[in-house]
């Protein structure tokens, strides 16, 4: 059951406010756009909170985030870790995860530049410019792709997911969020927003390669993942679904 930020207890709301501020502050180094983008995203998108509240990311993990943008996820996780180290963690939440490294791959050079300005020199973080369908996945314990899989065509999605499955150790985690193409008007709404944002960001006519939730589940279970699904568009009229996929232990 998801707990909306509006419904959350005052202590949880105060904690999330601090976490958002700490994570976003890091992006001042990348400029005003980087800061306000992070501020909006980390305050308005439930997936960041839910990753921590549900304790989905394994501790001590080597994490790869494909299509990582400017690295909002990494800033969030680092801020969580440092709040936890300062003893400011919610007692009813699982412990904050720590990481061996946080590696991101992003196609757009401008996002990579913002990430470099933000995290440059951080011992745990590396964000590189590249195409997620081409990069070496390397040794990983967890892979995330948040709202980015539908930018590559269906055959490339399948090859990439196969490579992720092969790279993960038993018990390893693949976590993604996709739009459910069978969800009617709410999917059409999110698809329209996606097209507009893609056009504005990359100045390329957008080609999006979507699937129904059933098709995503069939593809991932066919690759040998155990798959849990959870709606993840709280507060928005979108048809986003989080897929928590585990390589069997």
Ligand X SMILES: C[S@@+](CC[C@H](N)C(=O)[O-])C[C@H]1O[C@@H](n2cnc3c(N)ncnc32)[C@H](O)[C@@H]1O
Write out the residues near ligand X by the rule CB under 6 A. 41, 67-69, 72, 105-108, 111, 131-133, 146-148, 151-152
Q: Return all residues near 27 (Cβ < 8 A) that are at least 6 apart.
A: 34, 35, 37, 38, 70, 75, 114, 118
C-alpha to C-alpha distances, 37 to 32, 33, 34, 150, nearest whole angstrom: 8, 6, 5, 21
Shortest spacing between CB 60 and ligand X, in angstroms:
23
Nearer to ligand X, 20 or 41 (CB): 41
To the nearest 10°, the Cα dihedral for 167, 245, 107, 150?
Answer: 130
Q: Measured from the CB of residue 36, what is the shortest distance to ligand X in angstroms?
A: 14
Pick the closer one to ligand X by CB: 169 or 188: 188
Q: Tell which residue, 160, 151, 159, 233, has the closest CA to residue 197.
A: 151
Minimum CB distance to ligand X smaller for 68 or for 173: 68
Closer residue to ligand X, CB minimum distance, 148 or 168: 148
Quote the least distance from Cβ 118 to ligand X, whole Å: 13
Q: Which residue is nearest to ligand X (CB)?
A: 67
Element (H, E) at 140: none
Minimal distance, residue 56 CB to ligand X, in Å: 15
- Tell me the β-bridge partners of 129: 106
CB-nearer residue toward ligand X: 70 or 217:
70
């Amino acid at each position: 059951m998801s707990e909306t930020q509006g419904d959350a207890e005052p202590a949880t709301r105060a904690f999330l406010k601090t976490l958002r501020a700490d994570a976003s502050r890091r992006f001042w180094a990348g400029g005003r756009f980087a800061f306000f983008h992070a501020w909006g995203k980390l305050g308005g998108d439930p997936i960041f909170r839910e990753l921590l509240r549900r304790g989905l990311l394994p501790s001590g993990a080597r994490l790869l985030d494909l299509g990582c943008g400017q690295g909002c996820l990494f800033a969030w996780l680092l801020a969580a870790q440092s709040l936890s180290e300062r003893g400011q963690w919610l007692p009813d939440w699982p412990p904050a995860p720590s990481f061996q490294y946080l590696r991101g791959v992003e196609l757009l050079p401008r996002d990579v530049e913002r990430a470099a300005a933000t995290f440059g020199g951080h011992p745990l973080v590396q964000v590189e410019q590249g195409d997620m369908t081409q990069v070496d996945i390397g040794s990983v314990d967890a892979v995330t792709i948040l709202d980015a899989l539908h930018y590559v065509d269906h055959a490339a999605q399948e090859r990439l997911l196969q490579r992720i499955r092969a790279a993960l150790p038993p018990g390893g985690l693949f976590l993604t969020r996709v739009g459910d193409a069978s969800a009617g008007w709410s999917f059409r709404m999110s698809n329209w927003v996606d097209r507009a944002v893609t056009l504005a960001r990359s100045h390329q006519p957008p080609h999006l390669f979507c699937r129904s939730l059933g098709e995503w589940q069939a593809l991932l279970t066919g690759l040998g993942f155990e798959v849990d699904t959870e709606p993840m568009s709280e507060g928005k009229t979108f048809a986003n679904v989080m897929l928590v996929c585990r390589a069997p232990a």
